[in-house]
A and B are shown apart, each in its own frame.
Chain A
Amino acid sequence: MLRPKKSLLILVLVCILTVFTTACNSGGNNAADSASPSPGQAGSEGQNNGDSQVITDWSKEPEVTLSVFSVLANYAGEQPGWFAKLVKDKFNIKLNIIQGSTDRVATQMASGDLGDLVVGMGGKNYTDSIKAGLLLDWTKDGLIDKYAPNMQKYAPQALEANRKQYGGGTSIYGIGNNVGSGDGPSEGATMTFGPYLRWDLYQELGSPKIQTLDDYLPVLKKMQELQPKSESGKKTYGFSLWSDWDGNFSTLAKVTAQFYGYAETDGFNTGDMILVKADEAKYQPILDEDSYYMKGLKFYFDANQMGLLDPDSLTQKFGDVSNKFKDGQVLFAQFPWLVNVYNTPDHTSDGKGFALVPFAEEQIYSNGFNPYGSGWLWSIGAKTKHPERVMAFLDWMYSPEGVAEGYHGPKGMSWDVDAEGKPALTELGLQTMYNPDTPIPDEYGGGVWSDGAGNFGKLNNGTIITSSINPETGEPYDFNLWTSTLTRNPDPVTKSWREAMGVLTDKEWFVKNNQVAIMKPFFNGQAPAEEPSDIKLKHSQVGKVIKEFSWKMMFAKDQAEFDSLKQDLLTKAKGLGYDDVIKWQLGQTESTVFTMYK
């Protein structure tokens, strides 16, 4: 009687255990094979591979879903909208986007599988992934020769650079972003930074001359008095900041450096504690008495003393700030893309909108064209089941057609070329480009424009830089720079700004007035050095203290408190090893980028 019962019990237990263990196992398998097709599909591509026959029409191949691990994505899940349709039609693939934050990258790397397409990974993670064999070597089986003709044609130096820097001179493990060549700034119609003011209010004040950064404060005070309430009746502020994008310092205060031609990077190494001039062998440790970072802190401190700084700056998130811009609560913008939510046709047709108001001392930081590509690399996971298809898709994004359609939608939808082959926006395009909620016809994938829009949809990384010339049209890829766009009848704000400034675009103004510092690409055939682990730990501890005290200083009650906080910051940062970090980072910059100026 007892025996059968007991064996039954054991059986049940064994079953439970098996369920547990298999659940674990299959979980692991799923993670590894998330992109694996049914056996039949694998067979068909395998055969193609065996025949060494190059596939040209991917739309005839069986459908696959690629997992795209994007460090830069602000989106997770399957790519929606017109970009999804475009990619499906051309390659018969669906893109499943996995969003990779810093800690997610570590987890994904530790799991040993980075998916099919890896977007935007760079720095130490990238070199470690190569070391651990997580990335595919593109030279294997002639992959790059068969499936990447466009990269070889339009970004040959970028491939070569990767071969030298990361592939030991033989292998290629990826390609840099924003590849381009030429002189001058590589930005589009607008630069990366501002400053922008509410043009209507600034005009109303009689466009007072702005000599130094500090001159914005009295002007903004008058603008605030002129317009004390926003559209929904809320109090207006000169500045509204946010802290959720901060790394090792207050990002918004650091932007001050970019107004003066300095940046927290030398464009090659990974350090961010020294501010380096874009086009000279000059630098400032970030906490130096007269560094532009400290100047930024003082600037926002003064703004707060004058009641110009939004008191929620520290506690709100970027989304809150964007809503405040939309409502007209903020009068000063550090970046051009901040003002898009306010500069809608509704506002601009009333003459209300933001426009660039530079200061006389300004020398804006600009990225020059970099034929080697920048540090947010595109690469392919070593465990992918479809290396050919991923390669072909990536190559398409480096082709003139891919860049043009990846940013502005399929030809014929929102843009087209005229009889002379020059590009222009269509009726639909004139709406989509200025209102992201414009519906898209079903034949192009339906939904609204913003579903598919972005830098290659939600992948959010560049390939060929869009300010470079499209060989098929002879005009830049970016529609903002097309002749048809620049000559079209502008809205009242743009019209008034162009008349006052005597130029068509922001970039033109900076170049014309010689107020731009352009970073030169640096290349020595080697990858940037890796931070030693003790420096790395000190770096993150110092960064935490800088971030904390920066905000305290901006919101200090009075000058005395500001000064004492500054003193505390220096003591604490130095105690945590600030000097060692600076010394190491400076050493790297001096032995690489600064050698260009000797």
Chain B
Amino acid sequence: MSTGLAKIPEHPARRRDRYQLKGKYKLFLIALPFLVLVFLFSYLPLYGWIYSLYNYFPAIPLSQSEFVGLRWFTMMFSNEVQRDEMMRVLRNTFAISSLGIVTSVFPVIFAILLQEIRSTKFKRLVQTFTTLPNFISWVLVYSFAFMMFAVDNGFVNNLLLRLGWIDTPLNILASDNHTWLAMTLWGVWKGLGWGAIMYIAAITGIDTELYEAARVDGAGRFKQIWHITVPGIIPTYFVLLILSIANFINNGLDQYFVFANAMNMSNIEVLDLYVYNIGMANSNFGFATAVSIMKSLVSLFLLFLANGMSKVVRGESII
């Protein structure tokens, strides 16, 4: 017994040593290509931040460009109107992103409901049709929207007029009513099926014995959903939620770019679109870089905030 006791702790320790010595290089080497990629695509571009300190024009090397220091940064807040502009753009960004986060439970609900459908054929059909919009580019979505909502011979207006529900056609696309909500709904329409895939996978991963046991204990369908399915996919949901909070400020460009017009510009112009309109479309690259840097800093702050909250609320963090 004494020999046995002496041996047991010794053995795993030796194995751990061997493992650490021989295996770590292998693991490192396996990870290396990806580390290289991360370095190339996530860290190397940070070098580009240097452009925010120059008055840069393409083709002219930095050494010959005018050094402007922090002028682009101060310009963002230089006077009342400029500050209002920044505030407006940030407000739009935060509002649309918040709505996006609120609606992020929709795919969860949708996935659960989808799993409850008995007929496999119908389930497949629903899933295909809801996943499809994800693959349509926003440019095409806009032409579809224009066909549907145009004042002159748009489908919706024609329908409502024929039904006698309205007297004058509605100009839905050129209106500033509920722009944030409308944009969120377009986003939900496009992303619902796609977003549900991850949760469907999570549901499939739940042990069926749990359901059987619950049924034996007399749980109905709703009880099963509430006590087994929901807790089963909550971890997945939280990971995705935290990642989406880090992406809070990057709510993309293309959707808002295609739907933007003079009427809704003041409420649709999110940060990315603003950077495009001012920076790229008018080649103010230094200014655009400065705005993007501010954006990165805010993103970083939000990520740590979400992570910290997760630690407090759930006792787990992802970083």
Contact = CB atoms under 8 A, between A and B. Distances in A.
B263 A555 contact: yes
Contact of B146 (A13, A316, A539, A551): A316
List the 3 shortest-distance A-B pairs measured between CB atoms, nearest first. A575-B81, A551-B262, A540-B282
Nearest to A10: B29
Nearest to A250: B262
B171 A311 contact: yes
B265 interface: yes
Nearest to B55: A533
B60 A132 contact: yes
B116 interface: no
The dominant DSSP class at the A interface is helix
B278 A540 contact: yes
Contact of B261 (A6, A109, A551): A551
Interface stretch (A55-63, A79-87, A123-131): A123-131
Given A13-B29, A315-B174, A552-B262, A109 B36 contact: no
A315 to B, nearest CB: 4
Nearest to B146: A315
Contact of B150 (A131, A316, A540): A316
A199 to B, nearest CB: 24
6 contacts: A10-B29, A128-B58, A311-B152, A315-B150, A543-B282, A575-B79
B147 to A, nearest CB: 10
A151 to B, nearest CB: 26
A102 B281 contact: yes
B41 to A, nearest CB: 11
Nearest to B57: A128
Given A13-B32, A106-B285, A555-B174, A314 B68 contact: no
Nearest to A107: B58
B57 A544 contact: no
A103 interface: yes
Nearest to B80: A575
Given A106-B285, A109-B59, A315-B173, A9 B261 contact: no
B25 to A, nearest CB: 8
Interface of A: 2, 6, 9-10, 13, 16-17, 20, 102-103, 105-107, 109-110, 112, 124-125, 128-129, 131-132, 134, 234-235, 237, 243, 310-312, 314-316, 320, 324, 329, 533-534, 536-537, 539-541, 543-544, 547-552, 555, 572, 575-576
A9 B26 contact: yes
Contact of A13 (B33, B55, B277, B284): B33
Contacts of B32: 13
Contacts of A320: 146
A279 to B, nearest CB: 31
B82 A537 contact: no
Given A311-B152, A537-B287, A544-B277, A112 B262 contact: no
A176 to B, nearest CB: 21
Contact of B22 (A2, A9, A539): A2
A124 B29 contact: no
B69 to A, nearest CB: 13
Nearest to A5: B26
B284 A110 contact: no
Nearest to B276: A103
Contacts of B75: 534, 537
Given A537-B284, A576-B81, 18 more contacts: A13-B29, A16-B33, A109-B58, A128-B59, A128-B60, A134-B59, A311-B171, A311-B174, A312-B152, A312-B171, A314-B174, A315-B150, A315-B171, A533-B66, A536-B284, A537-B282, A540-B282, A576-B85
Nearest to B281: A102
A17 B58 contact: no
B266 interface: yes
A533 B33 contact: no
A207 B26 CA distance: 89
A549 B262 contact: yes
Nearest to A313: B174
Contacts of B64: 131
Interface of B: 22, 26, 29-30, 32-33, 36, 55, 57-61, 64, 66, 68, 71, 75, 79-82, 85, 146, 150-153, 169, 171, 173-174, 261-263, 265-266, 277-278, 280-287
Contact of A547 (B26, B29, B262): B262
Nearest to B64: A131
Contacts of B57: 124, 128
A360 to B, nearest CB: 32
Contacts of A536: 282, 284
Contacts of B280: 102-103, 106
A134 B71 CA distance: 29
A243 B153 CA distance: 19
Residue of A103, A533, A544, A548 ringed by the most chain B CB atoms within 10 A? A533
Nearest to A324: B152
A534 B66 CA distance: 12
B59 A132 contact: yes
B29 to A, nearest CB: 6
Contact of A537 (B30, B174, B278): B278
A243 B171 CA distance: 16
A1 B285 CA distance: 56
A109 B61 CA distance: 11
Contact of A541 (B80, B262, B278, B286): B278
B59 A103 contact: no
B59 A548 contact: no
A247 to B, nearest CB: 9
B131 to A, nearest CB: 28
Given A110-B58, A311-B171, A9 B262 contact: no
Contacts of A17: 33, 36
B169 to A, nearest CB: 7
